[in-house]
Amino acid sequence: MNMYDLIRKKKEGGILDREEIRWMIDGYTKGSIPDYQMSAMMMAVCFRGMNAEETGELTLAMRDSGDVMDLSAIRGVKVDKHSTGGVGDKTSIALLPLVSSLGVKIAKMSGRGLGHTGGTIDKLESIPGFRTSLSEQEFRRQVDEIGLALMGQTAELAPADKKLYALRDVTATVDQLSLIASSIMSKKLAAGADAIVLDVKCGSGAFMKDFEDAKALAEAMVGIGRHAGKKMRALITNMDQPLGDAVGNALEVQEAIDTLKGKGPADFTELVLALGARMLLLAELETDVKAAEERLEEAIADGRALEQLGRFIRAQGGDDACLSDDSILAPRGGCAELKASSDGIIIHMDCAEAGMASLMLGAGRSRLEDSIDPYVGIRFLKKTGDTVRAGETIALLYYSDEAKEKAAEERLASAIRIAESAAEGRKAIILDEVE
Ligand code: URA
C-alpha cells in the first residue's frame, strides 16, 4: 500500500476501505506518513467527502491509535455526555452529579477550553483544591465508590486525532463533517462508556451556525457511535445566546451549584433536565422522557443531587464549603455595568462575540498556554426577548484589569441589538433530537 495511491483514489472520488484507512492512520501516528501527504488527503476528503462506512472506520482507527479505557469492571451501564461547546456551557457540572445521584455510573474525560471561557476542567479547578489529574486506577475506583469521576484527557487518548487535528487546523481542513464527527467520536469511544448522549450546539456561539449543519453533525456522530456498538442519543440545542446567565469560570460553577439547589436559570435548568432524562433512558433506569425528567426534578428538590456534587468535589480533593458559602466562588476585583442605550426589546445577542468579551476579561484562552482568571466574567441580567429601558443594566462585567474591561464592554455592547419590537419570540433551548 502507498499513500500516493490512496490520495489519488480519494481525489478521484473513490471509497477507502477499512485496511487502507487503518494503514494510513497507523502510519501517520507513527510518523512514516509525512504531514504533506496527510494534508493532501485531508483536502481531498474536504472536496470528495467520506461515506458513513469510511467515517466509522476512520473513527475506530483513531480510537485504536492509543489507549482505550476499559470500564468493564465497573458494574452498570456507564453513560457519557459530550457537548460540542458553547458560551456559558457549564452543563456537566450540574448534570453529572444530578444523573449519578440516581444511580447512573459516569466516568468522564474532559478537556481544557480554548477560546470563550475555560473548559469543564478549568471551571472545576476554580473550586479550591479540586484535582483532575487522576490516575486511571483512581478514576475507576472513584466511579465504583461514588458513581462519578472526571479526569483530564491523557496524551495517550486518541493520539492520531491530536496530530491530525493540529494539521487540519493549519491547512483549512477543520470544517468537514466526517472529519469533525470522527475527531470528536474517536476520543469519546476511547473513553470507554457504553452509552453516549450528545449535546450538539447550534447558533451564533457554536461551531455549527446553521440548524441543518448541526443536525447533520449529530446524525453523523450518532451513526459512528452505533457503528462502534454504543447506545446513542443526541439533542440539538440553541447557542444563539449564552447558556444561563453566567459566563466565566467560578461564576459558572456557582450557577451550576445554584441549579442543583433549584435556583438555576430556566434555559439552563431545562437543558440539564433534557440531557439528564436521555442519560437515564440510556442507562435503562427509565423508559419515558417525562417520567425521567420528573425523577431528576425530585433529586434536585430533595437535595440528593447537591449531596452528590459535594461527594464528587470531596472525592477529587476539593473543598465543598462552596456549596454553602457563596463568597468562595464570588467574583473578585471590579464590577462594571453594561447599560441599555435605548428603550426596546433585545432582538439579538451575538453569542460568539459575548464569548469574546468574556475572553478579553481573562476568562478564556487565545492560546493553549495562556492562563485563565477564574474570578472574572459576565453575568447577564437581560437576554434576547427581554424588554429594557434606556439606562437599565443588561450585564455585569467582573474584571481584574480596567483597560481589559473597557475593551470587553465595548465588544459586548456591539454584540447586542435592541429594537422597538421583536419580529419573533425567544427561541427554544431544545431544537431537535436524533434518537
Ligand atoms: N472538536 C474536536 O474535537 N474535533 C474537531 O474536529 C472539531 C471540534
Tell me: the pLDDT tens digits for 82-100? 999 899 999 999 999 999 9
| In contact, 318 and 129? CB cutoff 8 Å | yes
323-350 mean pLDDT: 96
Sign of CA dihedral 203, 206, 210, 216: negative
Region class of 85: left (phi > 0), else alpha (psi between -120 and 50), else beta:
left
Instruction: Count Cβ atoms below 10 Å from residue 429 Cβ, excluding itself.
Output: 18
The pLDDT score that the predictor gives to residue 112 is 74
What tens digit of pLDDT does each residue of 206-265 get?
A: 989 999 999 999 999 999 999 999 999 999 999 999 999 999 999 999 999 999 999 999
CA distance 354 to 379: 11
CA neighbor of 195 nearest in space, from 243, 230, 227: 230
Q: What pLDDT shows up at residue 111? A: 76
As a whole number of angstroms, the distance between CA 220 and CA 235 comes to 13
Residue range(s) of every CATH 3.90.1170.30 domain in the chain = 331-419
What does the pLDDT read at residue 381?
A: 98
For atom 7 of ligand 1, the residue with the nearest CA is 180
Direct distance between the N- and C-terminal alpha carbons of the chain, in angstroms, rounded to an integer: 39
CATH 1.20.970.10 residue window(s) in the chain: 3-49
Q: What pLDDT is stored for residue 422 in this prediction?
A: 79
Q: Based on the number of CB atoms within 10 Å of its own CB, is 312 exposed (0-12), middle (13-18) or buried (19 or more)?
A: buried
Nine-digit cell string for 253: 460553577
Chain-centroid distance of CA 174 in Å reads 17
The residues pairing with 419 across neighbouring beta strands, listed in sequence order, are: 345
Q: Which atom of ligand 1 is nearest to the CA of 168?
A: 6
Say if residue 102's pLDDT is above 80. Answer: yes
Q: In the predicted model, is pLDDT for residue 74 greater than 80?
A: yes
Rg (CA), the chain: 22
For the Cβ of 165 lying below 6 angstroms from any atom of ligand 1, the answer is yes
Question: What CA–CA distance (Å, rounded) separates 358 from 337?
Answer: 14
Q: Could you tell me the pLDDT band of residue 424, with boundaries at 50, 70 and 90?
A: confident
The grid coordinates of residue 95 equal: 448534570
Residue nearest to atom 8 of ligand 1 (CA): 180
Looking only at Cα atoms, what is the longest distance across the chain?
A: 69
Considering the domain 3-49 in this protein, what is its CATH number? 1.20.970.10
Closest atom of ligand 1 relative to the 165 alpha carbon: 6
**Cβ proximity of 82 and 207 under 8 Å:** no
Residue identifier of the C-alpha nearest atom 3 of ligand 1: 184
Please, which contacts does 391-396 make with residues 24 or more away whose CB atoms are closer than 8 Å? 391/339, 391/340, 392/339, 392/340, 393/337, 393/338, 393/339, 393/340, 394/338, 394/339, 394/340, 394/346, 395/337, 395/338, 396/335, 396/336, 396/337, 396/338
Strand order in the sheet with 344-349: 387-388, 344-349, 416-419
Contact partners, residue 100, CB within 8 Å, separation at least 6: 106, 146, 147, 148, 308, 312
- Where residue 60 falls among pLDDT bands split at 50, 70, 90? very high
| In the predicted structure, residue 368 carries a pLDDT above the cut 90 | no
**What is the pLDDT at residue 153?**
86
State the closest ligand 1 atom to the C-alpha of 183, by its place in the atom list counted from 1: 4
Class of domain 331-419 as given by CATH: alpha beta
For the ranges 106-110, 120-124, 409-413, 424-428, which has the lowest average pLDDT? 424-428
Tell me the per-residue pLDDT of 103-140, one tens digit each, with 9 for 90 and over.
999 999 987 766 666 789 999 999 999 999 999 899 99
- Cell numbers 483512581: residue: 138
- In angstroms, the CA 152 to CA 208 distance is 25
Instruction: Return the CATH architecture of domain 79-323.
Output: 3-Layer(aba) Sandwich (3.40)
So what's the pLDDT on residue 114?
64
- Grid coordinates of 320: 465543598
**β-strands 148-152, 416-419 pairing:** unpaired
Q: How many angstroms does the Cα of residue 4 sit away from the middle of ligand 1?
A: 26
Q: Which three cell numbers stand for residue 263?
A: 435556583
Question: How far apart are the CA of 291 and the centre of ligand 1, in A?
Answer: 34
User: In the prediction, which pLDDT does 180 show?
Assistant: 95
- Known active-site residue 22: no
Distance CA 380, CA 114 (A): 22
Dihedral of CA 24/28/32/37: which sign? positive
Q: Where in the chain is the domain with CATH 3.40.1030.10?
A: 79-323
Q: Whose CA is nearest to atom 1 of ligand 1?
A: 184
Q: Is 180 in the pocket of ligand 1 (CB under 6 A)?
A: yes
Per the prediction, the chain carries an average pLDDT of: 95
Which residue in this structure is represented by grid cell 431537535? 432
Q: Classify the C-alpha dihedral 151-153-155-160 as positive or negative.
A: positive
Q: Check pLDDT > 90 for residue 200.
A: yes
Q: How far is the CA of 184 from the centre of ligand 1 (A)?
A: 5
Cell triple for residue 244? 444561563
For residue 422, give the nearest of 349, 359, 316 by alpha carbon.
Answer: 349
Q: Greater confidence, 356 or 113?
A: 356
SS3 content of the chain, % helix, strand, coil (to 5): 45, 15, 35
Length of the chain measured in residues:
435
Instruction: Give pLDDT tens digits for 259-304.
Output: 999 999 999 999 999 999 999 999 999 999 999 999 999 999 999 9
Say whether 187 is catalytic: yes
